[in-house]
């Protein structure tokens, strides 16, 4: 085989907000002293971050009553006390400067009438601290970061390349492998440092806000490389997914004053969170919606069979909706045939965010099972578990973390690369083994199409690992996922045998990643015998701090099995209390 090698000082996998922010930080600090490779499985500006709608949280106006301590407390309480508090403090301290940097780089933040930055209410926050750009915040943040990156030389983009695996040797990053779709060859990327900014795993569910590309690739790669995944049982279900598509209806719709109503016309959140109402944390609002549906106070979409409730914006008026929520109006009209100015929007909880991720420290350095840093390897954004969000993420903290983590790892990865003499790569045999692993499905002549296995996985996740969970049902789901993994290796095949732009092969590799991550979610969820944040078990309804105030770490065990270990939550400011809203 031909040995295809590409070398950079730092290689970044993922071109969303976290990946772009990392690249900008490296270039603005060190310019052409370091060469950067930016790998994206899609065209660079098509990363899923462009879909972020509602806003980005930070303390901007302390003189008006907000504070870093209040932001930290809201985040830790919202996490159901599973967040590592030192990581949260670092996060809230750096967030304001990130907002100001974006402002200086041209971010078109929405404004108050006096020209100051506008901030809106978001669930679980005790202060209106969410900055926004109408309801297209992620798109504008991406565009601002990309425009800033274009000011610099010494970086190269690899659009539509698919990274298959990372290689770690002697607890050090030694390269990663990727398929170039233009020739179908497997390439080795050598670098002194690498950053994984690959996002979450929301496409494990079919009713989801995620783009079709968000298939947990970075998480699966880390697992196969021997790294732990942390707290993967905690999948966030956003309360307001548009029925029947699952497209996100931003929390800003409630932040601007929208009401949740059942089929009796009641604002039912008064029963569940009387103080915060529609602006309670997402786990509480999602469970409340599902309880209304379960008790017969929902509606039914005849075409899809989905049960739902209403999000009513009609009282806001056309002018406010057009100013603050223009994209939401367009999405509702185009994908549900509903004009929010005149009638309510059909919504139900939808898979939205992966609270867990690759195990890191507070500075987003990848950690091994012993808690030691894997030299040269960093993780940013949703792929990382620092852990900021614990068992439940507060809305508008996600894009903030992408910015903050990108800033941190950009600086640390650059400094590490400058200290490192040369990039080390794996032995040639490892490269040959990777090519064999990538193309083993192509060599089969018949079997089960991988799209069928993907659909069965999504149906299993939808039914067994949704808002309400139960032990026996989850165990049935875990057995189904393990069977799908067996079929993936024994029966699955790729019909397209060509090399150039073989999207069938990419779908198969994504499906393998999804199944491996799904197994981790299942095992972690079954083991956690309590209800905490987004992990709500009807057979263990209470939170159990005595037994379960700890992080779940999931490791590869043997060829395909996994095992669980645990580590304590770092608590240095506030002791856990009952969550009341």
Catalytic site residues?
Answer: 238, 254
Q: For residue 14, what are its two tokens?
A: 């993922």
CA distance 354 to 120: 24
What single DSSP character describes residue 388?
S
Structure tokens at 282: 């997402």
Judge contact between 134 and 436, C-beta under 8 A.
no
How far apart (Å, rounded) are the C-alpha atoms in residues 105 and 569?
A: 37
Run of H or E residues at 152: none
Task: Give phi and psi for 465, each to the nearest 5.
Answer: -135, 50
Q: Is 37 helix (H, G, I), strand (E, B) or coil?
A: strand
189 pairs with which residues across the strands?
A: 6, 176
Cα gap 474→527, rounded to integer Å: 10
Furthest-apart CA pair in the chain: how many Å?
69
- Residue 62, classified by CB atoms within 10 Å of its CB into exposed (0-12), middle (13-18) or buried (19+), is exposed
In the chain, % helix, strand, coil (3-state, to 5) comes to: 40, 25, 40
Alpha helices of 245-396 — where are they, by DSSP H? 252-255, 282-294, 318-324, 326-336
3-state secondary structure at position 349: strand
List the structure tokens of 159. Answer: 């659009």
With CA atoms as reference, report the closest residue to 510 among 162, 176, 200.
162
The two structure tokens encoding residue 261: 């109503």
40, 161 in Cβ contact below 8 A?
Answer: yes
CB-based burial of residue 564 (10 Å sphere; 0-12 exposed, 13-18 middle, 19+ buried)?
middle
Instruction: With beta carbons less than 8 A apart as the criterion, state whether 66 and 129 touch.
Output: yes
C-alpha distances in angstroms, 452 versus 351, 456, 489, 491, 510? 20, 6, 14, 11, 13
Query: Could you tell me where the beta strands, DSSP code E, fall in 404-487?
Result: 448-449, 468-469
CA separation for the pair 581, 579 (Å, rounded)? 7
Strand ranges inside 299-398, DSSP E: 299-300, 307-312, 345-354, 357-359, 365-367, 373-379, 384-385
């Amino acid at each position: 085989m031909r040995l295809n090698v590409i070398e950079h000082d730092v290689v970044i996998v993922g071109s969303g907000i976290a990946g772009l922010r990392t690249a900008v930080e490296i270039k603005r600090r060190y310019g052409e002293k370091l060469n950067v490779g930016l790998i994206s499985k899609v065209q660079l500006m098509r990363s899923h971050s462009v879909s972020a709608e509602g806003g980005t949280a930070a303390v901007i106006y302390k003189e008006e009553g907000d504070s870093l301590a209040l932001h930290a407390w809201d985040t830790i309480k919202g996490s159901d006390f599973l967040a590592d508090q030192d990581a949260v403090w670092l996060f809230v301290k750096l967030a304001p400067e990130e907002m100001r940097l974006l402002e200086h780089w041209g971010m078109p933040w929405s404004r108050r009438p006096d020209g100051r930055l506008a901030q809106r209410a978001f669930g679980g926050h005790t202060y209106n601290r969410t900055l926004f750009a109408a309801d297209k915040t992620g798109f504008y943040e991406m565009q601002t970061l990309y425009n800033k990156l274009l000011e610099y030389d010494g970086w190269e983009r690899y659009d539509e390349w698919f990274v298959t695996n990372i290689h770690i040797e002697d607890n050090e990053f030694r390269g990663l492998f990727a398929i170039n779709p233009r020739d179908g060859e497997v390439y080795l990327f050598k670098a002194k440092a690498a950053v994984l900014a690959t996002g979450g795993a929301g496409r494990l569910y079919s009713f989801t806000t995620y783009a079709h590309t968000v298939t947990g690739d970075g998480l699966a790669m880390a697992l196969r490389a021997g790294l732990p995944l942390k707290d993967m049982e905690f999948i966030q279900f956003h309360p307001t997914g548009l029925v029947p598509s699952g497209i996100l209806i931003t929390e800003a719709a409630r932040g601007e004053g929208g009401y949740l109503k059942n089929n009796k016309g009641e604002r039912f959140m008064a029963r569940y969170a009387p103080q915060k109402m529609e602006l309670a944390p997402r786990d509480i609002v999602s469970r409340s919606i599902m309880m209304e549906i379960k008790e017969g106070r929902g509606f039914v979409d005849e075409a899809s069979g989905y049960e739902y409730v209403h999000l009513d914006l009609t009282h806001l008026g056309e002018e406010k909706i057009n100013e603050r929520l223009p994209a939401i109006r367009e999405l509702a009209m185009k994908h549900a045939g509903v004009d929010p100015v005149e009638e309510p929007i059909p919504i139900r909880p939808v898979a939205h965010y992966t609270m867990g991720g690759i195990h890191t420290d507070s500075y987003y350095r990848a950690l091994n099972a012993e808690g030691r840093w894997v030299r040269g390897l960093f993780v940013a954004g949703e792929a990382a578990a620092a852990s900021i969000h614990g068992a439940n993420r507060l809305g508008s903290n996600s894009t903030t973390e992408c910015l903050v983590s990108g800033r941190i790892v950009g600086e640390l990865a650059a400094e590490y690369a400058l200290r490192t003499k040369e990039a080390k790569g794996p032995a040639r045999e490892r490269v040959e083994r990777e090519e064999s692993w990538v193309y083993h499905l192509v060599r089969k002549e018949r079997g089960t199409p991988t799209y069928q296995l993907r659909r069965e996985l999504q149906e299993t996740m939808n039914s067994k690992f949704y808002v309400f969970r139960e032990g026996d049902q989850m165990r049935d789901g875990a057995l189904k996922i393990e069977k799908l993994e067996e079929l993936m290796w024994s029966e699955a095949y790729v019909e397209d045998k060509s090399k150039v732009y073989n999207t069938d092969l990419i779908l198969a590799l994504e499906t393998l990643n999804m199944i491996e991550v799904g197994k981790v979610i299942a095992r972690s969820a079954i083991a956690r015998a309590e209800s905490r944040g987004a992990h709500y078990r009807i057979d263990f309804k209470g939170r159990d701090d005595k037994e379960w105030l700890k992080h779940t770490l999931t490791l590869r065990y043997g060829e395909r099995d996994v095992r669980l270990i645990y580590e304590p939550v770092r608590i240095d400011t506030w002791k856990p209390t009952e969550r009341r809203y």
